[in-house]
Amino acid sequence: MTISAPVHNLQEIGKRAAGEAAVDLIHDGARVGLGTGSTVKYFLLALGERVKAGLHVHGVPTSRETAELAKRLHIPLLPEEEEWNLDVAVDGADQVDPQFQLMKGGGGALLREKIVAAAARRFIVLVDHTKCVRVLGKPMPLPVEVTPFGWVQSAKHLQAFGGPPRLRTRAGTMFQTDGGNAVLDVPVDEIEDPADLEVRLNRIPGVVENGLFVNRTSTLIIGTPDGVEIQHDSSVAR
């Protein structure tokens, strides 16, 4: 009897391929932003192996979850309160379009992820093939991090950009980001101009950051069950 592999497993193979390929782009002595999520986990595991074998790196984690894994893998971390001067940041994405624009925040780490990506000279994005879309947006809602104070007011403003925002919850209560904020998932249509939307959303009082990452990706690694495809965006100037 032939049973075709569930899509979930093929996706996992792609995630792993992308994560493991990224580690070859990390040079000795690099200062590295460490993203968050199930794809980046494979990168961290591979990086941990290299560190064990003698590679010297320092990392800045984008979440507590990543910090804990990095510590377990003996990847040295830089203090939060110093200038990081990162050579590269490596992170996943929920959607990527042909112009390398991203939708992120599915895991709720978007603010820290954007701060770390902006602090790095190169931004390497790891996705499996299922994350590649023609246009960002629908059917995925856009994650927006907001202050818990007045979140209902922020939601009211955000509704103008799509359907009624949904407050993200965990175990029946308000999901809290590592920074203590809330996340609103805003149903959006296909996003025609992500650059414009990214800026307009951040003008709303109470909005701390949104999940659009525009003109940041310098290298995209797409993992598939057959291997990886690596694309570079030469137009990203830092």
Strands 86-92 and 30-34: parallel
| Chosen residue from 59, 92, 137, 223 binding ligand 5RP by CB under 6 A | 92
Q: How many CA atoms are closer than 13 Å to the CA of 225, on its beta-carbon side?
A: 8
Nearest 10 degrees: Cα torsion 208, 213, 218, 222 = 130
Between residue 11 and residue 40, which ones bind ligand 5RP under the rule CB under 6 A?
35-39
Closest approach of Cβ 61 to ligand 5RP, in Å?
12
Residue 91 interacts with ligand 5RP (CB under 6 A): yes or no: yes
DSSP letter assigned to residue 177: -
Residue 163's alpha-carbon distances to 63, 137, 154, 176, 190, in angstroms, are 29, 12, 13, 22, 13
- Looking at the Cβ atoms of 73 and 156, the one nearer to ligand 5RP is 73
Structure tokens at 195: 């650059």
Minimal distance, residue 94 CB to ligand 5RP, in Å: 5
The catalytic residue among 12, 113, 198, 209 is 113
80 is catalytic: no
Instruction: Output the six-digit token pair for 168.
Output: 């993200």
Q: Is 107 helix (H, G, I), strand (E, B) or coil?
A: coil
- DSSP state letters, 3-51: -PPPHHHHHHHHHHHHHHHHGGGPPTTEEEEE--SHHHHHHHHHHHHHH
Q: Does residue 104 interact with ligand 5RP by CB under 6 A?
A: yes
The one among 109, 117, 201, 212 contacting ligand 5RP by CB under 6 A: 109
Query: Is the Cβ of residue 34 or residue 155 nearer to ligand 5RP in the bound state?
Result: 34
Q: How far is the CB of 56 from ligand 5RP (least distance, A)?
A: 26
Q: By CB under 6 A, is residue 89 in contact with ligand 5RP?
A: no
Which one of residues 93, 96, 186, 204 is an interface residue with ligand 5RP (CB under 6 A)?
93
Contact set with ligand 5RP (CB under 6 A):
35-39, 91-94, 104-110, 113
For the annotated catalytic residues, the residue numbers are: 113
